[in-house]
Amino acid sequence: MSQHGAGSHRAGSDETIASPFEEAFRDRLTLLSAALDGSPEPVLVVDRGGCLRYANAACEVLLGVGPVGLVGHQASEFALRYEPVESDTRPNVGPCVLRGLVELRHADGDTRWASYAASPLSPLGARGVGAVVFLRDETERRRDDLHRTRKHDELEQTIRAVSHDLRSPLVAVLGFSRLLRDDFGVALGERGTHYLDRITEAGRTMENLIRELLDFARIGHPGESRTWVDPREVLQQLRGELKPRLDQQGVVLSVPDDAPLLYCNRTRLYQLFSNLIGNALDHMGPCEEPRVEVEVREEGAWHWLSVRDNGRGVDPNQHERIFEMFHTIQREGGRRGTGIGLAIVKKIAELHGGRAWVESGAGAGACFHVALPRH
């Protein structure tokens, strides 16, 4: 082995006769090390046999072992487990770049996590002779993710247990209310029937609250997958499901004829649009030619989703609070909501790396916006 630079090390063997590819590999390694020695991020070079041929000084912070202790050893001695994320194998783009996460063994016996990007090292047009691996310490982020996952699972289990415990007495309340109406409706009279209606209405609200609490807890589950979704299909499905209510309220729902594909979870996109459109129908109030317009557009690095109505609007003092859990605005003639719908919208937007907000003024209609990053 030969020392190279003050804070890096690379392997070589001047006593043996090297093949042309090996000589070219060393030449490329010499050029690379001159450029990578001062990198603040850890960088390794691995040959086709999995042997570490170069390491810069930054590797010692991540692994607890300096370049001299790394070069000449097998990468498998330090890399415990890989989680590939993606690779760029598009035609005519150049060599494939592999990306992912790797669990590393630190010298203190603990483990570290790092993201990696591995690019093939192919001198003289040869393939498979080695790779340059760029690393970035992701240990704290990984631990935070695991902590959030545990908390998320605990929250979902708690809500499931509470929901189960609440459903049993709720079913009994609604069931006996129905029996009272059927068997003693005449004896109860108009006033007694009115009380039964209030009990049933409160029970149905509790049912919706339990269902939406479960929906809220499930959002962001680690197993959720994302794919390219056509928002027009989701909106057409919603328009069909909402047709009886739209006809009853005389509301025209306008959806885009053309829209970009969105990289998201389809179920969450359905929930997002369902809650925003449902919120507009609940609170827009009486107005001439009631209308709800949905827009989806692409601009720069973002996809912009908006749901606009021409109803009575939202007081500016409520713009932030309406996205809080259980916060509702009581209005004459409006439906009583659970106060979870817009909290679901906000959580879905933030979990996709975006945000949600409203633009409105009293009596000027309301426009709810969601910004989602493009893939």
Cα torsion angle, 374, 230, 297, 340, sign: negative
- 311 and 371 within one domain: yes
What is the percent of the chain with per-residue pLDDT over 70, rounded to a whole number? Answer: 82
Question: Looking at 196, 218, 240, which one is the last position of a domain?
Answer: 218
Are 285 and 358 in the same domain? yes
Name the residue among 217, 48, 19, 20 with its Cα closest to residue 131.
48
For residue 289, give the CATH number of its domain: 3.30.565.10
What amino acid is encoded at 317 in this protein?
N
349 alpha-carbon distance from chain centroid: 8
Domain around 173: 140-218
The structure tokens 């047709």 sit at 243
Give the pLDDT confidence of 286-322 residue by residue, as tens digits.
Answer: 888 899 999 999 988 899 999 999 988 887 888 888 8
Q: Could you tell me if 81 and 117 lie in one domain?
A: yes
Reading the block at residue 212, the tokens are 């939406």
Question: Which region among 92-106, 127-141, 258-272 has the lowest average model confidence (pLDDT)?
Answer: 92-106
Q: How far is CA 161 from CA 31, 58, 103, 157, 297, in A?
A: 62, 48, 35, 6, 41
Contact 305, 354 (CB under 8 A): no
Tell whether 186 and 252 lie within a shared domain. Answer: no
Quick one: 6 and 114 in the same domain?
Answer: yes
Question: Is the Cα torsion angle 222, 227, 231, 234 positive or negative in sign?
Answer: negative
Greater confidence, 222 or 92? 222
Lowest-pLDDT choice from 12-26, 120-134, 164-178: 12-26
C-alpha span between 313 and 297 (Å, rounded): 23
Task: Based on the fold, state whether residues 212 and 264 are members of the same structural domain.
Answer: no
What's residue 93's pLDDT?
Answer: 43
CA 292 – CA 252 distance, rounded (Å)? 6
- Residue 253 pLDDT: 95
Mean pLDDT over 169-181 rounds to 88
**pLDDT value at residue 123:** 53
The pair of three-digit structure tokens given for residue 368, joined into one six-digit string: 């709810």
Residues 35 and 126 in one domain: yes
Domain identity same for 104 and 120: yes
92 and 26 inside one domain: yes
129, 90: one domain: yes
Number of alpha carbons in the 13 Å side-chain half-sphere of residue 334: 21
Domain tally for the chain? 3
pLDDT tens for 97-138 read 788 888 998 988 888 999 998 888 765 445 556 788 999 999
Reading the block at residue 317, the tokens are: 């003092």
Whole-number pLDDT of residue 323 = 86
What does the radius of gyration of the chain's CA atoms come to, in whole angstroms?
30
pTM score over 0.85: no
The domain that holds 6 is classified in CATH as 3.30.450.20
The tokens for 97 are: 């770049």
Residue 92 has pLDDT above 50, yes or no: no
How does DSSP assign 110-146, residue by residue?
-EEEEEEEEEE--GGG--SSEEEEEEEE-HHHHHHHH
Does 324 lie in the same domain as 297? yes
- DSSP bridge partners of 321: none
Asked if 183 and 122 sit in the same domain, the reply is no
Which of 184, 218, 252 terminates a domain? The answer is 218
In the chain, the N- to C-terminal Cα span, in Å, equals 45
Mark which of 137, 159, 188 sits at the end of a domain.
137
